Each structure stands twice: as C-alpha cells, then as structure tokens.
C-alpha cells in the first residue's frame, strides 16, 4: 500500500493536518519526528545537541526507510527533502503532498520555539533555509496546497479529492 507523505517547512502544518487527514482517509498516521524520538530514545533537541544535524539526518533517513511499506499518512520533518535518498524513498513509495506556507505565516505560527533547533537560530539563517528549500519542495510535490489563512479542516478538505 502506498503512503501519503506530507512535506513542507517547519510550521507548515504537516503534523496538524496529517492526523486529521488520516482519520478522514481511515489510514494509520505516522509522525516521522515522533518515530525518530521513539527509536533514538532522545528528544530532537537532545539529538542535535549530542551529534549535530548530521546525526539527526541519519536517524531521519533510517526512520523513513522503516515506514516505507506502512500504507500510512506520514507527517515528515521539514528537512526530509534535504537528501536525494529520502526524496527517492518517498517517490517510489507514495504520493507527496506539499503544504506551502509563506514565510510570514511560519513566523506567526512558530514564534520562538525551543523544540525546533533549526528554527531556534537568527532570522537571516531561518529565512535562508526557507529559501533554499522552497524550490525543492515544489519540485518533489505531486500535489501542492497553500495553507496561509486556511484552517486545518479546510486544508484536509482540499487535499482529499486531489489524492484519491
Ligand atoms: N493552517 C494553520 N493555521 C493556523 N495555525 C496552524 C496551521 N497549521 C499549523 N498551525 C500551527 O502551527 C504550529 C506548527 O504546526 P505543526 O506542528 O503541525 O507543523 P509541522 O509542519 O508539523 O512542523 P515541523 O516540520 O516542525 O514538524 C502549531 O502550533 C499549529 O497549531
Ligand atoms: O526543518 C527541519 O530540518 C526540521 C524540522 C522538524 O520537523 C524536525 O524534523 C527537526 O527539528 C528538523
Ligand atoms: Mg511536525
């Protein structure tokens, strides 16, 4: 069974939309960040503090491979598209839904969040990360939904007919 992968920047709503979408589609829900935390036995800030981003990316790639055949709605982490390996796994095992959100809305939603190490840095670095990733999300999306000023339920209703 194929997966539905939600991709997009931190704060685009992958986790919030994913759980509701999975209920509508009667599919299991997996939050890949939670899978990483469960497998590592450490929080995301702890993984970053102990082994840096590269350690986190290793856990993330392993977690993604472990869910490839689940037939689930999967909320990925914002950086899942950083490697070609992860992009290929998603391409061969499911449909990818990109939740596009303007940078200004992301700022509104996340404010100062200590649980996202790559958000917890200065404004110009956050913005550079957003701009670097934007074209990659777009290129790898099978379906794109803009989430600014939309509720979770509005987004779910918009996604549903596009993936059936
Ligand atoms: N459409 C929306 N409208 C308003 N607020 C939203 C919307 N989607 C998400 N949020 C809020 O933004 C915050 C981040 O949402 P969420 O955790 O679902 O993002 P995410 O894409 O899973 O982020 P990450 O990549 O860090 O896991 C939460 O406080 C959530 O309530
Ligand atoms: O955008 C990112 O690189 C990240 C997003 C989060 O979902 C987590 O996966 C982690 O904080 C890294
Ligand atoms: Mg999330």
Where on the phi/psi map is residue 149: left (φ > 0), alpha (ψ -120 to 50), or beta? Answer: left
Q: Give me the sign of the Cα torsion angle 123, 108, 163, 19.
A: positive
Task: State residue 152's pLDDT score.
Answer: 98
Q: Give me the sign of the Cα torsion angle 65, 85, 36, 1.
A: negative
Domain layout of the chain by residue ranges: 3-156
Of 102 and 164, the structure prediction assigns the larger pLDDT to: 102
Average pLDDT of 87-100?
97
Q: Which of 48, 68, 43 is nearest to 58 (CA)?
A: 48
Q: Is 65 annotated as a binding residue?
A: no
Fold of 3-156: Rossmann fold (3.40.50)
Q: What is the number of alpha carbons within 13 Å of residue 78 lying toward its C-beta?
A: 21
Task: State residue 113's pLDDT score.
Answer: 77
pLDDT at 85 over 90: yes
Q: Is 92 annotated as a binding residue?
A: no
What is the distance in A from the centroid of ligand 3 to the CA of 31?
7
Q: For residue range 29-82, what is the model confidence (pLDDT) as tens digits?
A: 999 999 999 999 999 999 999 999 999 999 999 999 999 999 999 999 999 999
Task: State residue 37's pLDDT score.
Answer: 97
- By most ligand atoms within 8 Å of CB, the mutation choice from 118, 126, 127, 128 for ligand 2 is 118
Residue nearest to atom 6 of ligand 2 (CA): 77
Contact between 125 and 79 under an 8 Å Cβ cutoff? The reply is no
* CA distances (Å), origin 81, targets 130, 132, 164: 12, 11, 24
What is the distance in A from the centroid of ligand 3 to the CA of 11?
7
Residue nearest to atom 9 of ligand 2 (CA): 77
What is the distance in A from the centroid of ligand 3 to the CA of 33?
7
CA distance 36 to 162: 29
Question: Which string of DSSP letters, residue by residue, matches 106-147?
Answer: HHHHHSS-TT-TTTSS-HHHHHHHHHHHHHHHHHH-SEEEE-
Task: State residue 8's pLDDT score.
Answer: 98
Average pLDDT of 155-162?
96
Q: For residue range 108-142, what is the model confidence (pLDDT) as tens digits?
A: 999 877 789 999 889 999 999 999 999 999 999 99
What is the distance in A from the centroid of ligand 3 to the CA of 34?
9
pLDDT at 97 over 80: yes
Q: Residue 109 CA: which ligand is closest?
A: 1
């Amino acid at each position: 069974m194929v997966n539905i992968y939600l991709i997009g920047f931190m704060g685009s709503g992958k986790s919030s939309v994913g759980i509701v979408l999975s209920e509508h589609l009667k599919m299991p829900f997996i939050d890949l960040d939670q899978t990483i935390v469960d497998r590592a036995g450490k929080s995301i800030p702890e993984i970053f503090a102990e082994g840096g981003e590269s350690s986190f990316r290793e856990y993330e790639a392993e977690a993604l491979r472990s869910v490839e055949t689940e037939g689930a709605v999967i909320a990925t982490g914002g950086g899942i598209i950083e490697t070609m390996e992860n992009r290929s796994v998603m391409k061969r095992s499911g449909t990818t839904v990109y939740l596009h959100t303007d940078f200004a809305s992301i700022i509104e939603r996340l404010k100062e969040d200590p649980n996202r190490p790559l958000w917890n840095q200065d404004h110009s670095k956050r913005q550079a990360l957003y701009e670097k990733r934007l074209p990659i999300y777009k290129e790898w999306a099978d379906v794109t939904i803009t989430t600014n000023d939309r509720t979770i339920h509005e987004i779910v209703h918009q996604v549903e007919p596009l993936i059936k």
